[in-house]
């Protein structure tokens, strides 16, 4: 290995983690003789190894595995490396009875064209592996790793393959770093939106309603309302028009849009009605569908919960003749959609089955694509600046021409895919923000820019999306009359900068740790009367705020001020207003702002004006100076 790597801490840690994976595998072969191997890489916070086990593994086995690992470390086994020619390597793996390693070796030799394969040996353990590793197991920390989870994982990430048993470990260079990591993790989980959602009465998910179907409690509904208000204002300014569409739709629409052939797995099953004669619909569908496309006439007249708003907006577009003069035509709706997500993937508000989407569809000509795509990205950026998001990245999600399942996942029109991706690349270059290009993440109808966030649990999710659709306009028979008097098919941009209420709010909760800026806060100001005797004045203060549409309430409990302050702070209410004799006498309030040490006394009228101003400007006040500045 090059000398400089020796001193690079990241490289060194990577070698430690990867070597620990091998130690884990050796320990597993002692604990479960006959275990065979999958992959065992280093990852962001440690390592894992995948196995096929003769006997299942339980959590109770992890301490024993750790013990065995420590023994192996104590033995000080040196790692030795060798390169074997392809045939010899295969023969060795066959002799080792490692079927998955053999499969992978074949692929490396045949598809990637490698001539030799590397093997690493430490003690009795041999693994086909690229390395690098530490020189000896004695370089591995004995107390800076911890096996923390057993999970199933499909061989090579394909659910048609065997499910292997994956053991995860955290690993660091020192015990102190491991402890710090565990503490930081526990700290982060205090911001988990599921925990805060319960503590702050934001939402609940109820078995009797259904898995993945969130109920917004009054406090959470305020967050949704404020987001909708924001979207309404900014979209209005950006030239969008609002529409409204129903939750239920006949199958014919999704047959024409392609959802029933390409998206059916994620749709709730059809509702069939006996008393409707759908013969006319069926013959219409037969005429409209592309030649040779398989379809089920039984579904044409059945009703579906809508998994996307697009087809409805397309019908709005088609409801009137359209001229090129109207383009780009921007139709917006916070629309509720339902998707039958796999039960195991549901997670709080982050992954649900019913969601309200900040949706809009923009119908445009080919030469308008680049400029409009940029305008949409700019809208995204302005939203993110408002919320102060910094920790996200952009992903250009492309189709994957080599995906064996591509025919079931993507509209089959390779030139259109390439052209559309070209437009997005050009727009992104003009935008000048870095992005990562990833194959196989496109929508079925076109490529998109996804904005990726991480939860406090470090799971990555798409929160916003900006998509270019070259396919569905044609399928749906959409057209506008162009300058030359001919009918043309519009391109369509699908965009959702604020994602869905469910996922977006889950990120907002975690981003702010539940301490929302005043404009978003469910309760913006809580008035704390010093004692019962000041209750009437407290009510007057709250009423003065409510008269300006500010969400104010009074703590009417029979508690001491200290308790009321504590409770108000625990609820992360941005503004607490203490009123007692002094305040009542001068028509003033004592203002205590969340997270700000200094309290100020203000005349009631000035307070109302101040809060009204900060809410109108959607300011995030973190210090009194933020207000003084304006």
Among 268, 393, 461, 624, binds RNA (CB under 7 A): 461
Candidate segments 54-62, 220-228, 372-380, 425-433, binder of RNA by CB under 7 A: 54-62
CB of 78 to RNA, least distance (A): 32
Among 353, 361, 511, 593, binds RNA (CB under 7 A): 353
CB of 225 to RNA, least distance (A): 18
Q: Per residue, what are the HEC states of 384-419?
A: HHHHCCCCEEEEEEECCCCCCCHHHHCCCCHHHHHH
Among 464, 466, 524, 610, binds RNA (CB under 7 A): 464
Q: Which of 400, 389, 518, 411 is nearest to 464 (CA)?
A: 389
- Look up residue 289 and give its two tokens: 């569908």
Distance of alpha carbon 115 from alpha carbon 117, whole angstroms:
7
- Look up residue 228 and give its two tokens: 């909708």
Buried b (16+ CB within 10 A) or exposed e, 434-456: ebeeeeebbbbbbbbbbbbbebb
**Applying CB under 7 A, does 255 fall inside the site for RNA?**
no
Residues 538-577, mask of contacts with RNA (x by CB under 7 A): -------------------xxxxxxx-xx--xx-----x-
**Applying CB under 7 A, does 630 fall inside the site for RNA?**
no
CA–CA–CA angle 347, 215, 594 (5° rounding): 85
Q: Helix 61-75 vs helix 9-31: angle between axes, to the nearest 10 degrees? A: 120
Interface positions, 384-443, toward RNA (CB under 7 A): 409, 441, 443
Q: Which of 593, 530, 498, 518 is nearest to 228 (CA)?
A: 498
Q: For residue 388, how many other CB atoms are within 10 A of its CB?
A: 11
Q: Which is nearer to RNA, 88 or 206 (CB)?
A: 206
CB of 560 to RNA, least distance (A): 5
Interface positions, 474-533, toward RNA (CB under 7 A): 496, 499-500, 502-503, 530-533
201's torsion region: left (phi>0), alpha (psi -120 to 50) or beta?
left
Q: Which is nearer to RNA, 327 or 472 (CB)?
A: 472
Distance of alpha carbon 22 from alpha carbon 137, whole angstroms:
10
- Residues 41/47, Cβ–Cβ less than 8 Å: yes
Return the beta strands (E) in 316-374 as ranges.
329-338, 354-364
360's torsion region: left (phi>0), alpha (psi -120 to 50) or beta?
beta
**Applying CB under 7 A, does 361 fall inside the site for RNA?**
no
Interface positions, 199-238, toward RNA (CB under 7 A): 205, 207, 211-212
Among 6, 110, 487, 581, binds RNA (CB under 7 A): 581
**Applying CB under 7 A, does 292 fall inside the site for RNA?**
no
CB of 605 to RNA, least distance (A): 18
**Applying CB under 7 A, does 158 fall inside the site for RNA?**
yes
Number of residues that bind RNA (CB under 7 A): 83
CB of 299 to RNA, least distance (A): 20
Interface positions, 65-124, toward RNA (CB under 7 A): none
**Applying CB under 7 A, does 582 fall inside the site for RNA?**
yes
For the chain, how are helix, strand and coil distributed in percent, rounded to 5? 40, 25, 35
**Applying CB under 7 A, does 271 fall inside the site for RNA?**
no
**Applying CB under 7 A, does 604 fall inside the site for RNA?**
no
Among 31, 108, 114, 150, binds RNA (CB under 7 A): 150
- Helix, strand, or coil here: 313? helix
- Residues 231/498, Cβ–Cβ less than 8 Å: yes
CB of 508 to RNA, least distance (A): 13
Q: Which is nearer to RNA, 26 or 500 (CB)?
A: 500
**Applying CB under 7 A, does 159 fall inside the site for RNA?**
yes
């Amino acid at each position: 290995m090059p000398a400089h790597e020796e001193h690079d801490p990241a490289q060194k840690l990577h070698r430690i983690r990867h070597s620990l994976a091998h130690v884990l595998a050796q320990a597993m072969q002692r604990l479960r003789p006959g275990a065979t191997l999958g992959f065992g890489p280093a990852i962001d916070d440690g390592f894992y190894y995948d196995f096929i086990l003769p006997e299942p593994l339980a959590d109770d086995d992890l301490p024993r595995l750790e013990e065995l690992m420590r023994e192996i470390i104590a033995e000080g086994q040196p790692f030795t490396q060798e390169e074997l020619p392809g045939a010899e390597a295969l023969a060795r793996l066959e002799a080792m009875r490692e079927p998955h390693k053999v499969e992978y070796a074949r692929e490396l030799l045949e598809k990637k064209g490698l001539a030799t394969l590397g093997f690493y040996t430490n003690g009795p353990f041999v693994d086909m592996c690229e390395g690098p590793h530490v020189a000896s197991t004695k370089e591995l920390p004995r107390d800076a790793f911890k096996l923390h989870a057993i999970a199933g994982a499909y061989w090579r990430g394909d659910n048609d393959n065997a499910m292997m048993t994956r053991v995860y470990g955290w690993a660091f260079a020192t015990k102190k770093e491991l402890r710090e990591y565990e503490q930081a993790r526990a700290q982060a989980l205090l911001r988990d939106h599921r925990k805060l959602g319960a503590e702050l009465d934001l939402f609940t998910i109820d078995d009797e309603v259904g898995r993945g179907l969130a109920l917004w409690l009054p406090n959470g509904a305020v967050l949704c309302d404020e987001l909708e208000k924001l979207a309404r204002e900014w979209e209005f300014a950006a030239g969008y028009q609002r529409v409204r569409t129903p939750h239920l739709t006949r199958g014919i629409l999704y047959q024409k849009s392609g959802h029933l052939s390409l998206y059916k797995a994620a749709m709730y099953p059809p509702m069939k009605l006996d008393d409707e004669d759908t013969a006319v619909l069926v013959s219409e569908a037969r005429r409209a569908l592309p030649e040779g496309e398989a379809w089920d006439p039984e579904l044409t007249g059945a009703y579906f919960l809508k998994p996307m708003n697009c087809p409805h907006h397309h019908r709005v577009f088609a409801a009137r003749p359209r001229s090129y003069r109207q383009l780009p035509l921007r139709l917006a709706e916070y629309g509720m959609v339902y998707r039958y997500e796999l039960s195991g993937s549901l997670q709080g508000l982050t992954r649900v089955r019913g969601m309200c989407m900040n949706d809009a569809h923009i119908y445009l000509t080919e030469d308008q694509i680049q400029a409009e795509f940029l305008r949409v990205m700019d809208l995204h950026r302005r939203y993110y600046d408002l919320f102060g998001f910094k920790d996200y990245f952009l992903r250009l999600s492309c189709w994957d021409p080599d995906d064996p399942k591509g025919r079931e996942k993507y509209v089959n029109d390779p030139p259109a895919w390439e052209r559309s991706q070209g437009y997005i690349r050009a727009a992104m270059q003009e935008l000048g923000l870095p992005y990562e290009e990833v194959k196989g993440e496109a929508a079925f109808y076109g490529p998109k820019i996804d904005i990726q966030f991480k939860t406090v649990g470090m799971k990555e999710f798409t929160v916003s999306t900006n998509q270019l659709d070259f396919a569905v306009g044609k399928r749906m028979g959409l057209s506008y009359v162009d300058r030359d008097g001919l009918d043309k098919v519009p391109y369509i941009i699908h965009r959702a900068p604020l994602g869905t209420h469910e996922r977006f709010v889950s990120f907002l909760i975690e981003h702010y740790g539940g301490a929302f800026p005043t404009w978003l806060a469910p309760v913006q100001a809580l008035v704390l009367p010093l004692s019962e005797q000041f209750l009437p004045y407290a009510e007057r203060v709250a009423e003065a705020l409510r008269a300006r549409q500010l969400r104010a309430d009074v703590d009417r409990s029979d508690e001491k001020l200290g308790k009321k302050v504590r409770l108000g702070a625990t609820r992360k209410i941005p503004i607490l207003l203490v009123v007692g004799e002094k305040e009542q006498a001068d028509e003033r309030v004592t203002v205590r702002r969340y997270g700000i040490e200094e309290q100020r006394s203000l005349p009631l009228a000035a307070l109302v004006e101040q809060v009204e101003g900060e809410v109108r400007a959607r300011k995030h006040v973190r210090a009194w100076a933020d207000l003084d500045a304006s």
